[in-house]
Amino acid sequence: MARDVVDGDIIESRDALAAWFEAGCKRDAPLRVGTEHEKILFYRANHTPVPYEGERGIRALLEGMNARLGWERIEDGGHLIGLFDEKAEAAISLEPGGQFELSGAPLDTAHETAEELARHVDVWRSVAERLGLSALSLGMSPKWTLAETPTMPKGRYGIMKGYMPKVGTRGLDMMFRTATVQTNFDFRDEKDMVTKLRVALALQPAVTALFANSPFTDGKLNGLLSARSEIWRHTDPDRTGMLPFALESGMGFERYVDYALDVPLYFLKRGSTYVDVAGGSFRDLLNGRLAAAPGERATMADWTNHLSTIFPEVRLKRYLEMRGADVGPPERIVAMTALTSGLFYDSEALSSAWALVKDWTAEERQALRDAVPQRGLAAPIRGRTLGAIAADVVALAREGLRRRAMLNGKGEDETVWLAPLEAIAESGRSPAQVWIERFEGPWRRSVDPAFEDAVF
């Protein structure tokens, strides 16, 4: 989420929370797709992390981009922490360890995502190069320890940093050392949301494997293809995971409300102040009985902020988010948009994808999720490899995009953006395996060449 919402109307009932989700239905409106990605910044001269302050720090980068873009400033305690384009609904923000994020606008096609990303990278690079900065296209910081990683001056992150070690073993690594790409996509109505959520959850391990791109930690191999995905397995089980209830009967907006109400709070935002209520109950807040904030009542702003602190593999807001992929180079970021549009915005592709996964049990889905960080496309499911499933999924997306027939100025449809994923699926090898081979071969077991070879 680019910026936290402040105050707002008092929530009078649980029904109002389900109605909030219902308001996201795009019954007659165009279905759009948005892409968010994070980049891990470093100094080109010595491959060290970039702090917030300083003449060549992250604040200077934001100031430079603001001068170019003229977007609205997002500040926290007097610190510039992001930029917002209200007209386009796009934003630039900072993750806890300085990961530099673009939250793209909701767009009609993958063609538009490619144009948006190219504009962003052009502006970002024009400022970053003057500051001696570059950015990795890997899903985890490959070299620096947690202690060496900078901290951004954002109020909510201080609260999360204190709470994370109480509820898991890898929450701080998740916050400070990982980088992801995700897509956000719409639903027509509650039934459509349920179908899309179920398909997205079941297929998230396949997407994770196609994008697995984080084999290094602390300057050496970590034994994984997606360390980022493995870290999430050990981060606060109250707010992460595969949402098995979503594939049970009775799933709908109200069922997700009940789930979200039981996820512990991190904070309330009152004015410009973050109130630490970590571990508290939203149900208690709803009833005016939150011990950490006596007398406070839940507002719709509290609800939207709370939803942004829930981190399942696929997340429901007023749209759906697929959240389980490591970031990669720009062409794979655009491919994520194409894959999502092809699968979820063509009824035949969506129906075929559901047929592919509907008989999988909760235990099988979880076993696949648990296996994918280490095994990638080789993870097994019902006598097949995940690579074979991924190839089927990419093929379904191709046909969906072909039927959508959304053309660019050259007369090309969106299938042109699927090429990176088709190559990965055909090879049966996750991107991380390419980096592992280089590490063992020409890189001579050093991660420093990644700061030249794996960059934006």
Residue 4 has pLDDT above 80, yes or no: no
Q: Is residue 380 part of a domain?
A: yes
Instruction: Quick: pLDDT tens for 383-397.
Output: 999 999 999 999 999
> Mean pLDDT across the stretch 192-210?
98
Residue 5 has pLDDT above 70, yes or no: no
Residue 369 has pLDDT above 60, yes or no: yes
- Provide the CATH number for the domain around residue 191: 3.30.590.20
Q: Is residue 1 part of a domain?
A: no
> Mean pLDDT across the stretch 122-147?
98
pLDDT, averaged across the chain? 97
Q: Is residue 9 part of a domain?
A: no
Residue 6 has pLDDT above 60, yes or no: no
Q: Is residue 7 part of a domain?
A: no
Binning pLDDT at 50, 70 and 90, where does residue 8 land? confident
Per-residue pLDDT at 122? 98
Residue 2 has pLDDT above 70, yes or no: no
Q: Is residue 6 part of a domain?
A: no
> Mean pLDDT across the stretch 340-367?
98
> Mean pLDDT across the stretch 365-394?
98
Q: Is residue 59 part of a domain?
A: yes
> Mean pLDDT across the stretch 254-280?
96
Binning pLDDT at 50, 70 and 90, where does residue 98 land? very high
Percent of the chain with pLDDT over 90: 97
Q: Is residue 140 part of a domain?
A: yes
> Mean pLDDT across the stretch 183-200?
98
Residue 425 has pLDDT above 70, yes or no: yes
Binning pLDDT at 50, 70 and 90, where does residue 7 land? low
Provide the domain count of the chain: 1
> Mean pLDDT across the stretch 22-39?
98
Binning pLDDT at 50, 70 and 90, where does residue 345 land? very high
Per the structure, the complete domain to which residue 243 belongs is given by 14-453
**3-state SS string over the chain?**
CCCCCCCCCECCCHHHHHHHHHCCCCCCCCCCEEEEEEEEEEECCCCCCCCCCCCCCHHHHHHHHHHHHCCEEEEECCEEEEEEECCCCEEEEECCCCCEEEECCCECCHHHHHHHHHHHHHHHHHHHHHHCEEEECCCECCCCCCCCCCCCCCHHHHHHHHHHHHCCCCHHHHHHHECEEEEEECCCCHHHHHHHHHHHHHHHHHHHHHHCCECEECCEECCCCEHHHHHHCCCCCCCEECCHHHHCCCCCHHHHHHHHHCCCCCEEEECCEEEECCCCCHHHHHCCCCCCCCCCCCEHHHHHHHHCCCEECEEECCCEEEEEEECCCHHHHHHHHHHHHHHHCCHHHHHHHHHHHCCCCHHHHHHHHHHHHHHHHHCEECCEEHHHHHHHHHHHHHHHHHHHCCCCCCCCCHHHHHHHHHHHHHHCCCHHHHHHHHHHCCCCCCCCCHHHHCEC
Q: Give the Å distances, CA to CA, from 195 to 191, 220, 256, 352, 367.
A: 6, 41, 14, 12, 21
> Mean pLDDT across the stretch 188-198?
98
Instruction: Quick: pLDDT tens for 43-92.
Output: 999 999 999 999 999 999 999 999 999 999 999 999 999 999 999 999 99
Binning pLDDT at 50, 70 and 90, where does residue 1 land? very low
Q: Is residue 338 part of a domain?
A: yes
> Mean pLDDT across the stretch 219-236?
98
